Amino acid sequence: MAISKQTQTGTLYLLPALLGGENTTDVLPEYNHRVMYDLDHFIVEDLRTARRFLRKAGYTKDFEKVWLGELNEHTLLEDIGALIAPLLNGHDVGLLSEAGVPCLADPGAEVVKAAQHKGIKVVPMTGPSSIILALMASGFNGQHFLFHGYLPRKPKEREDQLALLERDAYQKHQTQIFIETPYRNLQMIESILKRCKPETMLCIGCDLTLPTESIITKSISQWAKSPLPYHKKPAVFLIFHP
């Protein structure tokens, strides 16, 4: 699959990664593995963790002969051209997420935008999205929802943003979804409990796809009486008012 046979340009495969754990076959389809094994070119967020994931998935090629382009928060827009150059030269490329699916809370969108602009075929692969998995199990509105990414870090700004999210949950009947860096989970929960109404519903999805997975929906008043074992664990937060 190193050179695409169908077109003069290569195909960009959007390759999901694990949300945690070790066994890729538990979560990722066999077809994903077959595609990965054929590729010689990857765009990754971090070289070290990407190599580790690929080896975990059974990738056996010599990394000295594999092209790995880095795409992260330090990548400049003018660097995107170099990342899609292998595609323009006819090579298939895998855009590998650091965790979960590419382009959702992930820097891959600019590469996909550039590929689409150049008429390059883009193929999204099946894989775990903590955002979608948590929404599925929350019991909240799955027809009308909004993902906000990370909320502000400063408490006052974060609480002001939560007030706006809660307002939209009530007025628009819209599920509000956001995430936080695991070591700030407890500060986030503290802000939610402080700012949101007692009857507002909160779902916390934690350790998704792992044996320790927990997806719990309760009212704010119920959460205020509950243990909060979420410190330094990857979590997704959803707010709704039925």
What's this model's pTM, rounded to 2 decimal places? Answer: 0.91
Q: What are the CA-CA distances from residue 224 to residues 55, 111, 117, 196, 232 (Å)?
A: 43, 43, 49, 11, 19
Look up residue 22 and give its two tokens. Answer: 């070790």
d(CA 198, CA 230): 20
Q: Is the pLDDT of residue 3 over 50?
A: no
Q: What are the CA-CA distances from residue 130 to residues 22, 69, 119, 199, 207 (Å)?
A: 17, 25, 30, 25, 9
Mean pLDDT of 221-237: 94
How many Cβ atoms from other residues are within 10 Å of residue 126's Cβ?
11
Domains of the chain, first to last: 11-124 (3.40.1010.10), 130-240 (3.30.950.10)
> Which residue bears the tokens 């909240």?
140
As a whole number, the mean pLDDT across the chain is 95
How many Cβ atoms from other residues are within 10 Å of residue 26's Cβ?
12
- List, for residues 36-76, the tens digit of each pLDDT value: 999 999 999 999 999 999 999 999 999 999 999 999 988 89
- List, for residues 23-44, the tens digit of each pLDDT value: 999 999 999 999 999 999 999 9
Q: Is 98 helix (H, G, I), strand (E, B) or coil?
A: coil
- List, for residues 100-115, the tens digit of each pLDDT value: 999 998 899 999 999 9
**41-44 sheet: strands from edge to edge:** 67-70, 41-44, 93-96, 11-15, 121-124
| Torsion-angle region of 6 (φ positive above 0: left; ψ -120 to 50: alpha; else: beta) | alpha
| Residue 44: Cβ-neighbour burial (10 angstroms; 0-12, 13-18, 19+) | buried
Give the pLDDT score at 242: 83
Give the pLDDT score at 69: 97
- Give the max Cα distance, the chain: 61
